[in-house]
């Protein structure tokens, strides 16, 4: 099979598209021929060496995708050759074929395409637990979303509004702000303006009830934009490492800093099915709109990485074998 691989950590130029052996499945796995693969900032972190990678090179990135079952292990039941499946937490997805543990395979309803599944599963499930587990948004809450034009950001905006929140989006350009408004944000501010002051202004000087922080380098500013007793949910660092947080500040302001990681949520087959089914229901009911993704051929993965790192995307990027 062909796969997008790398042997040394570094920039996008370390990625190569080449032939490698097909994966061998165990008795409890299925072999999936990929139709669409989600690209996420975590892939960039791993390529750079910021996130730990197990095993030896050549490394294969990717944890999210959708495709057709090509073969099944001896102990596999309820999944057949030809079934449409997806996953959000299976490694080595940047390849034509992926070995998927049975408990991590998510059956796709007919109404959900491969592209939609690869666009929404990881980012949609992330937004779902961030708005329900990390901080449960209540009707009337002021919800501040960083990088609101991105994949997780647009999902946070839609889910936050659906839960009754007053959603404030932050983004870098006027063009991206249009996408955030289309997603349902009540207010959108740009990073190069006094967005902290504007958040304080629309909240009568108090600040946001919750800030969803995915940039990292803006963590201190996020606390400045949060009300006394408010919460900052840290779940990414696309803009660089955050500065250390002084626990005395947390005590003095009664503010909360909490983290979020999808791998700590998708802990069982039941959790995957329950949470993904809610996403699929929202989509089919029109409550969660998935913007058409930007598509790159898998062989052009390096170009896709540059596109994502260059902040050129609004929404999801997928790779197509």
CATH number at residue 252: 3.40.50.720
Task: Specify the number of domains making up the chain.
Answer: 2
pLDDT band at 56 (very low <50, low <70, confident <90, very high): confident
- Tokens found for residue 125: 């499930």
Query: Does the pLDDT at position 313 exceed 80?
Result: no
pLDDT band at 236 (very low <50, low <70, confident <90, very high): confident
pLDDT of residue 232: 98
Q: Distances in Å between the alpha carbon of 56 and those of 59, 90, 164, 299?
A: 7, 17, 47, 22
Q: Distances in Å between the alpha carbon of 109 and those of 9, 101, 232?
A: 38, 19, 35
pLDDT band at 151 (very low <50, low <70, confident <90, very high): confident
In a domain, 128, yes or no: no
| 292/196 same-domain check | no
In a domain, 129, yes or no: no
Give the pLDDT mean for 142-157. 94
pLDDT band at 203 (very low <50, low <70, confident <90, very high): very high
User: Cα Rg for the chain, rounded, in angstroms?
Assistant: 20
Task: Reply yes or no: is the peptide bond before residue 58 cis, omega within 30 of 0.
Answer: yes
Residue 84: closest CA among 120, 35, 26, 24: 35
Give the pLDDT mean for 310-315. 70
- Decide: 154 and 126 in contact? Cβ < 8 Å: no
In a domain, 133, yes or no: no
- Decide: 321 and 34 in contact? Cβ < 8 Å: yes
In a domain, 189, yes or no: yes
| 253/292 same-domain check | no
The last residue of one of the domains, among 259, 280, 296, is 259
| 100/46 same-domain check | yes
Distance between CA atoms of residues 42 and 45, nearest Å: 5
pLDDT of residue 29: 98
In a domain, 126, yes or no: no
Query: Does the pLDDT at position 315 exceed 80?
Result: no
In a domain, 83, yes or no: yes
pLDDT band at 50 (very low <50, low <70, confident <90, very high): confident
pLDDT of 77-121, one tens digit each?
999 999 999 999 999 999 999 999 999 999 999 999 999 999 999
Produce one character per residue of 219-233: b if its CB has 16 or more CB atoms within 10 Å, e if not. bebbbebbbeebbbb
Indicate the range of 162-176, 216-230, 301-315 predicted with least confidence. 301-315
pLDDT band at 250 (very low <50, low <70, confident <90, very high): very high
Q: Which domain holds residue 186?
A: 139-259
Distance between CA atoms of residues 60 and 162, nearest Å: 37
| 305/194 same-domain check | no
| 149/235 same-domain check | yes
pLDDT band at 231 (very low <50, low <70, confident <90, very high): very high
Distance between CA atoms of residues 225 and 211, nearest Å: 8
| 180/276 same-domain check | no
Q: How many CB atoms lie within 10 A of CB 185?
A: 28
Distance between CA atoms of residues 286 and 290, nearest Å: 9
The last residue of one of the domains, among 259, 279, 302, is 259
| 146/218 same-domain check | yes
In a domain, 67, yes or no: yes
pLDDT band at 261 (very low <50, low <70, confident <90, very high): confident
pLDDT of residue 312: 66
Query: Does the pLDDT at position 195 exceed 90?
Result: yes
pLDDT of residue 239: 83
In a domain, 127, yes or no: no
The last residue of one of the domains, among 232, 259, 286, is 259
Measured at the alpha carbon of residue 43, what is the angle toward residues 40 and 48, in degrees to the nearest 5?
140
């Amino acid at each position: 099979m062909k796969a997008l691989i790398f042997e040394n950590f570094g920039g996008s130029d370390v990625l190569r598209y080449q032939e490698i052996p097909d994966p061998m499945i165990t008795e409890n796995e299925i072999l999936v021929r990929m139709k669409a693969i989600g690209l996420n900032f975590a892939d960039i972190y791993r390529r750079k060496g910021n996130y730990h990678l197990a095993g030896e090179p050549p490394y294969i990135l990717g944890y999210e995708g959708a495709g057709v079952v090509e073969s099944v292990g001896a102990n596999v039941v309820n999944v057949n050759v030809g079934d449409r499946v997806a996953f959000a937490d299976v490694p080595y997805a940047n390849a034509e074929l992926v070995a998927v543990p049975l408990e991590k395979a998510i059956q796709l309803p007919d109404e959900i395409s491969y592209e939609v599944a690869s666009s929404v599963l990881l980012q949609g499930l992330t937004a779902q637990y961030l708005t329900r587990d990390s901080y449960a948004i209540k009707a009337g809450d002021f919800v501040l979303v960083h990088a609101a034009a991105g994949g997780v950001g647009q999902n946070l905006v839609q889910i936050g509004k659906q839960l009754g929140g007053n959603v404030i989006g932050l983004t870098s350009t006027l063009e991206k702000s249009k996408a955030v408004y289309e997603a349902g944000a009540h207010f959108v501010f740009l990073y190069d303006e006094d967005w902290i002051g504007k958040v304080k202004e629309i909240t009568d000087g108090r600040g946001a009830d919750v800030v969803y922080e995915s940039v990292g380098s803006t963590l201190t500013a996020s606390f400045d934009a949060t009300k006394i007793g408010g919460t900052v949910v840290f779940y990414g660092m696309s803009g660089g490492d955050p500065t250390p947080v002084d626990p005395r500040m947390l005590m003095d302001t009664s503010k909360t800093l909490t983290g979020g990681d999808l791998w700590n949520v998708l802990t069982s087959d039941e959790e995957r099915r329950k949470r993904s089914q809610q996403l699929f229901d929202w989509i089919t009911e029109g409550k969660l709109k998935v913007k058409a993704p930007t598509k790159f051929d898998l062989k052009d993965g390096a170009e896709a990485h540059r596109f994502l790192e260059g902040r050129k995307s609004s929404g999801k990027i997928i790779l197509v074998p």
